[in-house]
Amino acid sequence: MSNPSNRRAPSRTSGASPIAPAAGQVIAAGAAGPHAAAALPTREAVCDTHGPYLSRCLAGRVWTHCPACVEGQLQRENERQEQAQREARLMDWQRRLGRAGIPLRFQDRSFDDFEAVTGAQRTALAFAREFALDFGSPARRGRGALFVGHPGTGKTHLACAIGMHLLHEGRLVLFTTVLRAVRMVKDAWGPAAQMTESQAVSRLTRPDLLILDEVGVQTGSEFERHLLSDVLNERYEHRRATLLLSNLPLAEVSAYLGERVLDRLREDGAESVVFDWESHRGAAR
């Protein structure tokens, strides 16, 4: 049996509990153990706004300030940053909306306020809603559509509802007429032009969705047909969707676009939606 007097005393550094700080004191941050611990003093302080509080010494003559004031300052800074972020998002939205070119009259259009009474109207609404919700999915990438029918039947309403939905998702959208698109490119030829022809064409080819209104209304000049073909071809190559709107019958629009353009639209699953009901404007009168 071993002699108790020969037993070694337990090591203070092997499993021993650390010494607790005295009341009113804190352990220095980063202390490695009881030998490195440094008791930092505290003292009573008074805040002009919140009254008495316990101040802790951080280093030398540096003492903590009123915790309620510090918390309030942090909260105000967080609110300031959140407000700045909201303003930045609003400015970005207004910038994208301005660049999108969606007419002011149609910026509040949605799927929910489209009047769908007949079966054909419900079909058009369902197609437009599905087009927007599935936009960009691998199976639908680059898919376009052709809305044809009489004026006042809701083609622009649904097209702009699609555009606004995609804008809210952060996608690039451009709404324009064929006439304005042609004029924009021609304006690049003048001495006072603000952009080159290539930049003008890029504005038509770069958006995720291009909405071209009044297709076939123009004279169909050689330049117009060539420009439209080039724009649609480049969008086809980059699999970017195009939505074409026309008041002409489907057969006349098809003849105006030509078989080559139609074939490329069909390849990505483009569909034609015929708006053949009475004009809402006429009904309103």
C-alpha Rg value of the chain to the nearest Å: 35
pLDDT mean by block of 10 residues, the chain; 285 residues: 46 41 39 47 92 91 92 92 82 72 89 94 96 87 92 94 92 91 86 83 91 82 83 91 93 87 86 88 53
Segment (H or E) for 272? strand 271-275
Beta-carbon contacts of 199 under 8 Å, excluding residues fewer than 6 positions away, are: 188
- Residue 281's pLDDT is 62
> pTM for this structure?
0.68
Q: What is the pLDDT of residues 24-69, one digit of tens each?
A: 333 333 433 444 335 678 999 999 999 999 999 988 889 999 999 9
Q: Residue type at 124?
A: A
- Residue 46's pLDDT is 94
The bridge status of strand 209-213 relative to strand 173-177 is parallel
User: Cβ–Cβ contacts within 10 Å for residue 48, how many?
Assistant: 7
- Residue 219's pLDDT is 62
- Residue 127's pLDDT is 96
Q: Are 127 and 159 in contact (CB under 8 A)?
A: no
- Residue 19's pLDDT is 37
State how far the Cα of 149 lies from the Cα of 245, in Å rounded to an integer.
9
